[in-house]
Amino acid sequence: MTGALFLVMAVIALGIMALGHRKGFQPSLVILLVAGAASFIPAVPRLELEPHLILGLVMPPLLYAAAVNFSFFTFVRNFKPIVGLGFTLVLVTTVIIGFFTSWIVPAIGVAGAFVLATVVSPPDTVTIVSHGKELGLPRRVVAILTGESLVNDAAALTFFSLAVAAAAGTHTFISNPFWLFVYGCVVGIVIGWVLGVIAITVRSLLGSPALETALGLILPFAAYFVAESFHASGVLAVVIAGFTVSIGTQYNPGRETRGVDFRTRSMERQVWPVIETALEAFVFAYMGLQVRWVIEDLAETEYSFGEALGLGLLVLLAVILIRIAWVAALYGKGLFDAWIFAKRAAIDPSDPRVVRRMQQVERMEQRQAEREERWRERDERWAERRPDRQKIERPKRQRNMRQPPRPLSWKESLLVSWTGMRGIVTLAAAGSIPLVDGFGEEFPGRTLIQFIAFTVAIGTLLLQGLTVPLLARRLKIDVTEEDAEEERQLASAQAVADAAEGFTAQRDAVSMAVRNNEIEDEAARIIFERIDRQEAAAQ
C-alpha cells in the first residue's frame, strides 16, 4: 500500500508541477493542499521517514543544482544585498521570532522556540524567480532573489542544526555556540571547495559523459555527509562545491573547459531540472500527507486547534512584517541618501559633503582603471603562454562589471519585500525535527512546531505567492533598458566567440572575456550552450 501510495502521489504531484509551469501558478501550494486533503482519506496510511533522511537526501541535490546554475559573478556583484537578505535577515528573523515565540508559547521553551524560528526564517522564491521574465521582474531583482534563496537555505539550515542540538540536549564538541557556528562555516567551506576541486580533476580524466554526470550527482551527497561527519555545515559545503564546479568547468580557459565534454554539459542541463522538479514535488506532497496526523497529534497536546492556528497566524504576521521592515531599512536609506545628495549637488555644488562624495567617486574610478590595466596585462601574458590560440580583439567594455550596482528603486524594493514565501526548506526542516531528544524523551513541542510551520508556509504561499504576480504587473517596472543591455551583452559574447576558430578556442575566449569583465557571465552561459549545440550538430 505504501509503495502504491508513493507512486500515485508522485504522478499527481508531477502532473500539478507540469500544469503549474505551463499556466504560471504556484504548483507547490496546490500540491500541498491536494496532499493535505488526501491525508484525510481513511485508506491513506501514515507515512513517516527518518527525520534526518529528509534533509540529508532532499536538500543536497537541490542546493547543489541551485549553486551550479546560479552565476557566481552575479552573486559577487550583488553580494551586499544578497548577504543582507540571505544571511542577516535570516539571523534577525531567527532572533526576533525565537524570543517572540518563547514569549507567546512558553511551554516549548527557548530552545524549542528557536528551532521554530530557524524553520520559518528562510523564504523560498524559486517559483517566482522561474517565472521572473513572464512577470516582468527586473533581472537584478531576479538575481538578488535567486542569490538570497541560495544563501538563506545554507544559513537557516546551519542555524537549524545548532538550534536542534541545543533543544535536544545533544553534546557538541565545541560548547560555545558562536565558535561552533564559525567552525561549521569555515570547515564546511573548505570541505566543499576541496571536494569540488577533486570532482573537477576526476571528471577531466573520465572521458565518459555518463560517468562524469554520475560523479556530479554523487558530489552533493558526498559534500554534505563528509562535512556533517566533521560536525561542519553540510549545506554550506554543498553550496561551495556547486560554485567551485560551476566556475572550474566554465571559466578556466585552456584546461577544465576541455576536460568536461560538451555532451556532459548537455546531459547535466537535462538531468538537474528533472531532479529538482521531482524532489520539490516529493517534499510538498510528503509534507501535505502529514497534515492529518499533525492535527491528530496536536489534540494530544495542551493546545487546541484554534489556539495553535492563532499562534501560527501570529508567527505568520511577524515574519511578513519583519521582511517588509528589513527591506525598507536596507534599501530605503540608500534611496534617501541618493535623493539628499542630488538635492545638495543641485543647490550648491561646492558643498563640502558633495565635494567629498565626488572625490570618493574619482578614487573609485582610479582604482578601477588600475584594475583594468592589470587585467589587460594578465590577458596578454595568457596569450603569450598560449601562442596556438588565435589573438582576438574583444569589444570594449560596455559598462563596468565590478562597480557596485545601482540601488533598487522603491518599486523594486516593494517587490522584494513581498517575496517572502516559505516553502520547501521550511517544510523539509519541519519534517526533519527529531522524534526524541538526546535523553530519549519526546522532542519538546515538535507537533506544535510542525503545525505552526505548516501554517506559515501555507499562509505565505496564499497571501504572497498568489499576489506577487499581480503586484509585479501593477507596479509596471520598466525593464526596457535591462532588455537592451542583455541584447548588447549577448551580441558582445557572440562576437568574442566568432572571433576565435574552433569550439574549444571559442569557449576559452568567452571564458577569458568573462574573467576580464568584458562580458557578463549570464550572456556567456547562453553562448556556451549555443557552442555545445553547434559542436553536437557537427559530430
Query: Residue with C-alpha cell 550538430?
Result: 537
End-to-end CA gap in the chain: 48
Inter-residue contact 518 to 496 (CB < 8 Å):
yes
User: What domains can be seen in the chain, in order of their start residue?
Assistant: 2-331+405-481 (1.20.1530.20), 350-402+482-538 (no CATH)
Joined grid coordinates for residue 74: 552575479
Inter-residue contact 55 to 138 (CB < 8 Å):
no
Question: What is the per-residue pLDDT for 103?
Answer: 92
Distance CA 529, CA 535 (A): 10
Number of DSSP helices (H) and strands (E) in the chain, helices first: 25, 0
Question: What is the per-residue pLDDT for 120?
Answer: 94
Closest CA to 342 of 332, 354, 330: 354
Question: What is the per-residue pLDDT for 126?
Answer: 66
Contacts of 56 (CB under 8 A, 6+ apart): 221, 224, 225, 228, 234
What DSSP letter does each residue of 79-108 carry, written as one string?
HHHHHIIIIIHHHHHHHHHHHHHHHH-GGG
In sequence order, the β-bridge partners of residue 436 are 442
What DSSP letter does each residue of 458-524 carry, written as one string?
HHHIIIIITTHHHHHHHHT---HHHHHHHHHHHHHHHHHHHTSSSHHHHHHHHHHHHHTTSS-HHHH
CB atoms under 10 Å from CB of 440, counted, come to 6
Distance CA 214, CA 221 (A): 12
Question: What is the per-residue pLDDT for 399?
Answer: 43
Query: Residue with C-alpha cell 577531466?
Result: 204
Question: What is the per-residue pLDDT for 224?
Answer: 93
Contacts of 361 (CB under 8 A, 6+ apart): none
Question: What is the per-residue pLDDT for 398?
Answer: 41
Question: What is the per-residue pLDDT for 397?
Answer: 43
Question: What is the per-residue pLDDT for 299?
Answer: 83
pTM of the model: 0.81
Question: What is the per-residue pLDDT for 3?
Answer: 65
Query: Residue with C-alpha cell 557552442?
Result: 531
Distance CA 534, CA 498 (A): 12
How far is C-alpha 435 from the geometric centre of its chain's CA atoms?
28
Joined grid coordinates for residue 532: 555545445
Distance CA 408, CA 143 (A): 12
Question: What is the per-residue pLDDT for 402?
Answer: 46
In sequence order, the β-bridge partners of residue 442 are 436
Low-confidence ranges of the chain (pLDDT < 70): 1-3, 24-25, 51, 126-136, 170-173, 251-261, 332-351, 353-361, 364-365, 368, 371-372, 374-407, 438-440
Question: What is the per-residue pLDDT for 483?
Answer: 77
DSSP-based three-state secondary structure for 189: helix
Closest CA to 457 of 153, 151, 122, 152: 122
Question: What is the per-residue pLDDT for 88?
Answer: 93
For 365-448, list the strands marked E by DSSP: none
Contacts of 124 (CB under 8 A, 6+ apart): 149, 421, 422, 423, 424, 425, 426
Largest CA distance in the chain: 80
Inter-residue contact 437 to 443 (CB < 8 Å):
yes
Question: What is the per-residue pLDDT for 330?
Answer: 80
